[in-house]
Structure 1
Amino acid sequence: MDLPVWQALHTELGERNLTVITVALDSGGAADAGPWIREASPTHPSLIDVRHLVAELYGWVNVPTIAWIDEEGRLVRPGDPGWAGDYFRRMVEPDFDHAAMMAEYGRLRSHYLDAVRDWVAHGPASRWALAPEEVRRRLAGPDRDHALAAAYFQLGTVLHDEGRAEAAQGAFAKAKALRPESWSYKRQAWHLEEPGKSAGPDFWAAVKALGDRPYYPRHDL
């Protein structure tokens, strides 16, 4: 749903030196992510990260997650959820209002894209550009458990590629236990176990178990 939005922004601001790069974190590779990319027909770089290396390097635990990087290669915002929000959690409620959810989606999207436009126009003077100290604070490096979780996740993807499904799920279970806040690990493991499971009852039960805790980080834009 978001690829056409990023393509439109790339077209709009490309002449002002903005390059959009989208990365699908999908261990299923081109077979799973390719149809979505082809349907969007992007002219910006649109990549597939089968090992979730981008998430590992930047410390991301969910999708979508967005980073702003300036012309010097410096991070300006290291990990925003963009316009994603917890409004989706109402989808399983009996009185779910789809129109209200889409209105909230549209409001957050417009606000976020306007923030990107402001940054493109004003650079480091933009009110949305974070100070280097704040970027470093948000990018607190991985601890031992995070590093082990990433290693077990990589092992799980290799085992899955070799057709060793049971061993792969064992490795994924260790990754999820070591980094329980990673929804990317959860959803990818569910999907590789059984296509569609990542949006099924197990997913919704895990979301419900959050209680009042957010699924996505609170918006600060």
Structure 2
Amino acid sequence: MPGWQALQEELADHNFQVIAVAIDEDVEAVRAGCDGITYPVLIDAEHIVAELYAISNVPTVLMIDEDDNIVQPNWSAYASDTFRELTGIDSEKQKDHIRAWAKDGTLRMSPDEAKGVVGDLSAEEEEARLVFRIAAKLRRDGDTDGAERNFERANALAPNDWTVRRASQPLRGINPFGDAFMEIYTEFNEAGRPYHGVTGH
């Protein structure tokens, strides 16, 4: 988040606005990470944004122009090099794409190319997201066993969808940065890094 804050400040005179969406339901946990952040941070506890835009991994960035057109669809972009060792992604190169768009209107692809980049969610992925919502609701209602059964079912339906599998970890009391994360990351790599969006750096 501090990396996006720095970019927000850098491009403030170029009609640029960062808006973050946390796929979370713990307002206080999100708030704790917002120290010094001046851009809006929204909470998508029901994963509506993730479903509407077919987001299957985080972080995912979309670039939307003043006319509400998606000019850069789902893109696994980073504002810092915190995860560079894992991802091999240079955040400065990615931020340069954003700078070029904000300053000069230069895009990585044409509007026609952008339209076909993000594939639809599969039937299993759609079902997994619905089951995830059921699990989250059961958890909020105090039905731990019912929640766990549905989290497991959602994870089985979409094992490489991080908005389902990794997002369920803190809700289930699992450290999302511990061994369980590395298990997901390893399986994700072994599956060919499936992603709904632009790949490459």
TM-score (norm 1): 0.79
Tell me which structure has the larger Cα radius of gyration.
Answer: 1
Q: How far 1:208 moved relative to its partner?
A: 2.8
The aligned residue for residue 76 of structure 1 is 71
The match for 1:201 among 142, 159, 179 is 179
- 8 Å CA contact retained: 2:160, 2:187: no
TM-score (norm 2): 0.86
Conserved? CA contact 1:81–1:216, under 8 Å:
no
Which amino acid in 1 is paired with 2:60? T
User: Which structure carries more relative contact order (alpha carbon 8 Å, separation 6+)?
Assistant: 2
Which residue number in structure 1 is paired with residue 61 of structure 2? 66
Gaps in structure 1 of 5+ consecutive residues: 90-103
Distance 2:178 2:162 in 1: 14
Give the letter aligned to residue 178 of structure 2: G
Q: Tell me how far 1:205 sits from its aligned partner.
A: 2.6
Matches within 5 A, 1:9-24: 9-24=7-22
Unaligned runs of 5+ in 2: none
Please give the secondary structure, in 1, of the residue aligned with 2:126: helix
Give matches, 1:22-171, under 5 Å: 22-27=20-25, 29-37=26-34, 39=35, 41-83=36-78, 87-88=85-86, 108-123=90-105, 126-128=106-108, 130-171=109-150
1:6 corresponds to: 4
Q: 1:23 to 1:174 in 2, by over 3 A?
A: same
Moved over 6 A (4+): none
Question: Number of residues paired by the alignment?
Answer: 196
Query: How large is the Cα RMSD of the aligned pairs?
Result: 2.3
Judging changes above 3 Å, is the alpha-carbon distance between structure 1 residues 164 and 86 closer, same or farther for their aligned structure 2 residues? farther
Give the deviation of 1:162 after TM superposition. Answer: 0.8
CA shift in 2, pair 1:147/1:77, >3 Å: same
| CA distance in 2 between partners of 1:211 and 1:143 (Å) | 19
